[in-house]
Amino acid sequence: MTGQEKIDALISSLGAIKNRVTDQATMTVGAVGYAALGGVIVDDAFNDGLITQGEFDSYLEAHDLVINHDYETATNATELFTQEYQGAMNNLDEAIDLLADAAGEVLTATGIMESAAAADTSPEQTALQGMMGTDEYSIDQAEVDAYNQAVAQVENYAQQAGAFMAAANNTELTASIDSYATVNNFAVGNYTTITYTQAIDEFVINWNDDGFGSGWQGYLTSEFKDASDIYGAGEYVAEYGTMPN
C-alpha cells in the first residue's frame, strides 16, 4: 500500500464519519421542528446519524497507517517532485503574506492621489503637503525594497512550485530519473539537493551520499507561462472565480 493510498484511505474513512455527522445535523433540525409541533420521533430514527464501530475502526486503521508511513523518503521521482512541490507551496504561502503586507504599505501611500487631484486651491494644497509629511502617506526606499523583494519571492516560489508539479506529472521525466536510480542502485528519495533553473529548463539532482548526480533538461518548455499568461489568468480568476481551462 503506497503512502498516497494510505492517505486516500484516511480521507475515505473521515468522509464516512463526516457524512454521519452531517446527516445527524439535518435530522436534528427536523426532529426539533416536529417536536415543537407534537410529532413523535420513532425509536432508532437517528441511526443514520450514528458512527458505526466499523467506520471508527476503518478510521483508526487508516490513521495508524498514515502516522507510521515514512513520507520523508520518496520511493520514486513522482513522490520526490511532489514533496518538493509541497515545500515550495508552503514557502509561496508565506511569501504571499509578506507581499500583502508590503503592498498594503505602498497602496496606503498611493491613497493620497485623490487628494492631490483635488488640490486646486491654496488651503487644499497646504493640506496635501501636511499629509505628505506623514509616514502613512509617503513612500520611502525601505518600503520600495521590501515590496520588490516580496514580489521577487512570490515569483520564485510560484515558479518552483509549478515546475515541481509539472515534473511530477511528466511521466517521461520521472521514468528517466527512476531508471537512472535503478541502474545505479540507489534510492531516489535519498537525494541531497535539487535545483530547477527555468532559463535553461533544467533540473539538477544530486545524491551525494551515493556518489551520483545528474541533470534533466528540456522537459517543461510546453508549460511555460509568461507575464501575459499570468495576468490574463489573474483577471479571469477575479471575474469567474476559477482558473481558465
Q: What is the pLDDT of residue 130?
A: 86
| Least trusted range by pLDDT, from 66-75, 94-103, 155-164 | 66-75
Res. 197: pLDDT tops 90: yes
As a whole number, mean pLDDT of residues 178-193 equals 94
Q: What is the pLDDT of residue 3?
A: 77
Work out the pLDDT band at 123, boundaries 50, 70, 90. confident
pTM check: above 0.75: no
Q: Which three cell numbers stand for residue 40?
A: 413523535
Separation of alpha carbons 230 and 245, rounded Å: 13
Res. 236: pLDDT tops 80: yes
Q: What is the pLDDT of residue 73?
A: 81
Which contacts (CB < 8 Å, 24+ apart) does range 17-24 have? Answer: 17/51, 17/55, 17/56, 17/59, 20/48, 20/49, 20/50, 20/51, 20/52, 20/55, 21/49, 21/51, 23/48, 23/49, 24/48, 24/49, 24/50
Q: What is the pLDDT of residue 60?
A: 96
Domain boundaries defined on the chain: 3-68, 77-240
Res. 107: pLDDT tops 90: no
Work out the pLDDT band at 112, boundaries 50, 70, 90. confident
Q: What angle do CA 187, 212, 173 make, to 5 degrees?
A: 65
Res. 138: pLDDT tops 90: no
Work out the pLDDT band at 114, boundaries 50, 70, 90. confident
As a whole number, mean pLDDT of residues 153-163 equals 96
As a whole number, mean pLDDT of residues 53-60 equals 96
Q: What is the pLDDT of residue 19?
A: 95
**Single-letter residue type at 186:** F
Res. 118: pLDDT tops 90: no
Q: What is the pLDDT of residue 176?
A: 98
Work out the pLDDT band at 125, boundaries 50, 70, 90. confident
